[in-house]
């Protein structure tokens, strides 16, 4: 399988859009999570799926505002 390669520009808000080729390769779409992992001096982007018991937003719609999700992610961030 050929390696996927693409480029993206970081915005002034430090955001970037995953190119279509990369999204397709990872199988991700709107609302999906990705994680960035350092391996052998490179950063690898992976699809990230939380277990339902770890993600209260998967079970309770009333806690799924962007602010709630951001607060949960900050509280559970792994450095």
Domain annotation covers residue 36: yes
Q: How many domains in the chain?
A: 2
pLDDT surpasses 90 at 40: yes
pLDDT surpasses 90 at 24: yes
Most confident of 9-13, 30-34, 52-56, 65-69: 9-13
Measured in degrees and rounded to the nearest 5, phi and psi for residue 37 equal -125, 135
Radius of gyration of the chain (CA): 15
Confidence at 65, pLDDT banded by 50, 70, 90: confident
- For residues 22 and 35, is the Cβ–Cβ distance under 8 A? no
State the pLDDT at residue 18.
Answer: 93
65 and 41 both lie in a single domain: no
Q: What is the largest CA-CA distance in the chain?
A: 43
pTM score, whole prediction = 0.55
Measured in degrees and rounded to the nearest 5, phi and psi for residue 55 equal -120, 95
Confidence at 51, pLDDT banded by 50, 70, 90: low
Domain annotation covers residue 1: no
- Hey, how many other C-beta atoms are within 10 angstroms of the C-beta on 45? 14
């Amino acid at each position: 399988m050929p390696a996927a390669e693409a480029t993206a520009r970081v915005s002034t808000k430090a955001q970037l859009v995953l190119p279509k080729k990369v999204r397709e390769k990872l199988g991700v779409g709107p609302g999906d999570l990705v994680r960035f992992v350092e391996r052998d001096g490179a950063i690898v982007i992976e699809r990230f799926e939380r277990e339902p018991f770890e993600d209260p937003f998967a079970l309770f719609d009333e806690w799924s505002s962007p602010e709630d999700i951001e607060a949960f992610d900050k509280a559970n961030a792994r450095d």
